[in-house]
Amino acid sequence: MKMTIGEIAKAINADTTDILDDSLNTEVSGVCFDTRKMLPGKLFIPLAGAHDGHDYIDRAITSGAAATLWATDHVDRLPLKIPALVVDNPLKAFQKLSKYYLAKINPRVIAITGSNGKTTTKDMIASVLASTFNVTKTHDNFNNEIGVPYTLLQMESNTEFLVVEMGMDRPGQLDFLSKLVEPDVAVITMIGEAHIEFFGTRDKIADAKMEITHGLKDDGYFVYDGDEPLLIDRAKQVSVAKSTFGRNHNNDIYPISTSDGQYQTTFNVNLWPDEDVTIPMIGDYNVNNALAAIAVAQIFRIPKLAIINRLKKFDLTKNRTEWLTGKNGEKILSDVYNSNPTAAKEVLAAFSRTKTAGRRIAVLGDMLELGTKSKQMHASLSENIDSSEISEVYLIGEDMVALFDRLKPFFAPENLHYYHASQLQDLTTDLASDLKADDEVLLKASHGIHLENVVAAIRG
């Protein structure tokens, strides 16, 4: 993003009374709402959260901020060292600026949501489109009311496609994000139990996920899991072109065979039955994410070989089913960004089929936001934990005690470990001393459990 302060002020209808005319011609090179990451030349966005961003203006200035947004209810302490664009609400102004910039660059927009797989699907779609076009994609987990505008404002001026991930934890959230970006293609990977604490039923989750179509352009496309009855019925109400993917042969795109490798999965798709398509991830469930990417690629006429080559070597966002090597030489399957019952069962099933000369060890933490049936859902993971395939289990978190109780009859006491959420360091120490060179260890939990710290410790 490169815009003058004057252009930004006009885009968001900011009050520039106290800004000198010469300053309005100063160019801004980007935006920043975290002063720890501030770089010279950027526009500071003082957001209100656990702390008030206005309180950090001196740090922003010291780090080189070129200008700042500033709330009208804070004008009694207006900064004097840099231009301040006065607005009623900095967050809404930030969002308005992102929409203005999106219209200015005018890329095709692919919006993706789903209870599982949205980040992987985003990475796959971006990789495939990048074979032919200039692409910007959501960085890390920037997928909410702050992250999506930030992604938009990160676009280079030559961006032809924007691939944007959208998360949600309440009704109306995807409605806002979809109308903000006005996608050319909306993708729903699947409907699961994520955030069921806030929605109550999968039906209500499906209603909320369908909000991603609310901003869809009239000549756009809706790509969705055609095996999901909750989506099939709702898709009939969306009057745009549609493409479905899934396992059933009544879908537009489906696999005709799949095979697991040690660190990859290969499948054949109905479009090209004689061509092997390989993705650098284990787990049959990841084939569906690749099918969604193929569906989007087909819309934009990406050549077959480009699709196959790009899927084979796409860059996966950190901590999503990522194979790493530990300090002892053990293999680590890090999937610690988030977790819910469907995702946990799928990765456990895939992990149980890997080939190893040593032990398979599973480290599982609480799956958050599951509501009143949380303990029951945690206990249900036992269906995918066979002591003949997974030698040892480490569990951490309040609700994982339900899984611990369910597994007790099937594991020797020395092979089944339980820790309270406050005992993360104890788990880390015990696991590190337990691992051997030939072992494989899976780590899976919601981000709030912070198993990424365990991953960092055992990698050394």
Q: Would you list which residues are annotated within the binding site for ATP? A: 114-120
What angle in degrees, to the nearest 10, is found between the helix axes of 90-105 and 5-12?
Answer: 110
List the structure tokens of 226: 């055609």
Give DSSP secondary structure letters for 92-135.
HHHHHHHHHHHHHH--EEEEEE-SSSHHHHHHHHHHHHTTTS-E
Q: Is 239 helix (H, G, I), strand (E, B) or coil?
A: coil
Q: For residues 122 and 345, what is the distance between their CA atoms, to the nearest angstrom?
A: 22
Q: For residues 107 and 156, what is the distance between their CA atoms, to the nearest angstrom?
A: 10
Q: For residues 214 and 113, what is the distance between their CA atoms, to the nearest angstrom?
A: 13
- For CA atoms 280, 286, 287, 290, the dihedral sign is negative
List the structure tokens of 115: 């209870």
**Nearest residue to 367 (alpha-carbon basis) of 377, 382, 358:** 377
233-272 burial code (b ≥16 CB/10 A, e <16): ebbeebebeebbbbeeeebbbbbeeeebeeeebebbbebe
**Nearest residue to 93 (alpha-carbon basis) of 167, 175, 33, 136:** 33
Burial class (CB within 10 angstroms; exposed 0-12, middle 13-18, buried 19+) of 460: exposed
The label of the residue with tokens 């398979």 reads 360
DSSP 85: E
DSSP run (H or E) holding 230: helix 229-235
Q: Which residues pair with 395 in a beta bridge?
A: 364, 418
Q: For residues 340 and 169, what is the distance between their CA atoms, to the nearest angstrom?
A: 13
8 A C-beta contact, residue 441 and residue 363:
yes
Q: Which residues pair with 429 in a beta bridge?
A: none
User: Binding site: what residues are annotated?
Assistant: 114-120
List the structure tokens of 151: 């992604």
List the structure tokens of 189: 């990977």
Give DSSP secondary structure letters for 335-395.
E-S---HHHHHHHHHHHHT---SS-EEEEEEPPPS-GGGHHHHHHGGGGG--TTT--EEEE
